[in-house]
Structure 1
């Protein structure tokens, strides 16, 4: 608190308030920004609470801001080590850059035993090493991973090892009925599911809504999700939140009930062509 009659200064802000604000910043701002402003801000930025949620997904701007000069995996590991040290191991979530691998995940699992969430987009993660890391994450509640890790073995291992697991995001080009069935059977008590920017048939959407009885949040928004029918919306009405915006709903795509295929208007299926010809003939007869 500034003395009476004097203009308040930023460095006079309550430390807990500063920590609350700084906890919303990225690692690049904590290291290369606020910590250089003044002694009070530097002290607040050192608080472990500022380092509980670590997001490295935008690695290029982070590395430029911090003037990283070496190979990305090397600089990333040093920065990760520094951030975990500042958090004193009490990290809640880590969102890895796209080049991070199973060794990075295992490193975090060994040093952050109370980790609740991670995002790892790499599509070349060995399942055995992934499961080895999962073994160390007893309190894991959610993850975002590539479709290559969506298998019965991996998901059942998560179910056995992580009693609190309830949130899944999958990075995939297509979620077919097989993958949908695997998710439903291995993780039947999911509460939050995200399948963004991938192909999903109406059958798979219905399957997930029917089988995941505890689901509360379902996000299938993306550029190539087929139009949502009234039946799907009725099934999704029990959810707290359902996100499904797509180009289908903006008129770029449509769904053909004749051959049960999703189609481009610019490149219609045979059913659509037959329909268009029939309509033209009827109009000009």
Structure 2
């Protein structure tokens, strides 16, 4: 007996076209594939299935999944599918509306890949959205530093073709090697680069290679790393298991106090977190995933107060945002960037942003659930913003005249795809004939 499921038609190689009261999908080479999704399918499972059936490069493109969602018998709206709750709501469409098949439309966004080694990562290894965002933030915060390093590397004396052909690995310029190894990622820096030759091993020990400490985010939350491709490679190379705390300390020590970007794994212990705060005084960029924010909410504000040079913060959740941002105003005078995509931003969070970040220049809240009143508060209170990303948000319409007027002084204000819509309200208040729908159940569509 097969599990109960929902028929879904998946469209790709096109673009979503919004029409009055409907949603269409157009393109010269649109593909369509029927898919069966079981009730209880998660957002991660949906992504895996879509990447598999469409053949879209997981590493080259991020997906925007749009559901053609019925709000009455003759009207549809585009609803972004971004989390488990949205997938659950999508799979309930046949029950609520009587529609036998759900339609989803795919749009792709090219992924910026500044770290060349991970651009060719194997298909069974996943880079988390937070890690990808941190790499983008690294590009933004450190672009000037990298350009300067590249300029110095290019100033080296040029050699003719014959000399280039005779060059050996160990003769490569050390500064050039260090500049490249800064960008290859932690796994390659530990397990690949040092094994090429002696000069590469020596270069990999340079503290400048360890300025960006972006740890793997999804690690089995045990005291010992038991499984996972990174952990297995470590055990194969060193013939022993590493405790999470010991390994984090080991990597942090490699930086010799020069680390400027840090993102710790989900299973990071309080001891390791405090160690990072003490050993990374030059930190400019900090990434905190949702699990860390919940697990260590009591100590994070105190630790942030130690990072006087902090410029950018990436949050995977809005949990405890008021307490986390408060010390930034007092201790982090150079802070200019806040990223909290796909989080819930209410009046408390908006007030904290306005009050605690007076010098905020860049704000990224794309995909967030934000109340219109909260956005108004931010636009009125953050006077120094030069770029704000509010694309694909839930809580206000992208063509809201008042919002656009308030944001007119901001050089770059992005709000495409944002909408004000509550499907439960539509189902609760829509009258079809003389029958009222209560959350969509018991409706008969003509």
User: Normalising by the residue count of structure 1, what TM-score does the alignment of the two structures yield?
Assistant: 0.76
- How far apart are 1:5 and its partner, in Å? 8.0
CA contact (8 A) 2:309 2:333 kept: yes
Bigger mean CA deviation after superposition, 102-111 or 2-11: 2-11
- How far apart are 1:156 and its partner, in Å? 2.6
Q: Distance in 2 between matches of 1:117 and 1:234?
A: 32
Aligned to 1:258: none
Give the number of the structure whose residues are more often strand, by fraction.
Answer: 2
Superposed CA offset, 1:113-147 (max 9, x none): 12122112223245542233123222222222332
Q: Distance in 1 between matches of 2:162 and 2:416?
A: 53
Alpha-carbon RMSD across the aligned residues, in angstroms, is 3.2
Q: Distance in 1 between matches of 2:305 and 2:193?
A: 37
Superposed CA offset, 1:2-51 (max 9, x none): 97484444443222111111101111100111111111211211111111
Alignment of 1:215-234 (within 5 A): 215-222=385-392, 224=394, 226-231=396-401, 232-234=403-405
Bigger mean CA deviation after superposition, 154-163 or 21-30: 154-163
The structure 1 residue matched to 2:337, chosen from 158, 161, 167, is 167
The structure 2 residue matched to 1:91, chosen from 243, 259, 264, is 259
The structure 2 residue matched to 1:181, chosen from 328, 339, 351, is 351
Instruction: Quickly say closer, same or farther: Cα 1:161–1:120, change in 2 above 3 A.
Output: same
Aligned to 2:179: 20
1:197 and 2:367 matched: yes
Aligned to 2:281: 113
Instruction: Quickly say closer, same or farther: Cα 1:57–1:192, change in 2 above 3 A.
Output: farther
Alignment of 1:37-76 (within 5 A): 37-59=196-218, 60-67=228-235, 75-76=243-244
Q: Relative contact order (alpha carbons < 8 A, sep ≥ 6): 1 or 2 greater?
A: 2
CA contact (8 A) 1:56 1:62 kept: no
Q: Distance in 1 between matches of 2:229 and 2:345?
A: 31
Instruction: Quickly say closer, same or farther: Cα 1:78–1:13, change in 2 above 3 A.
Output: same
Q: Distance in 1 between matches of 2:313 and 2:294?
A: 16
1:144 and 2:314 matched: yes
Instruction: Quickly say closer, same or farther: Cα 1:173–1:156, change in 2 above 3 A.
Output: closer
Aligned to 2:426: 268
The total of aligned residue pairs comes to 260
| Structure 2, unpaired ranges of 5+ | 1-158, 219-227, 434-446
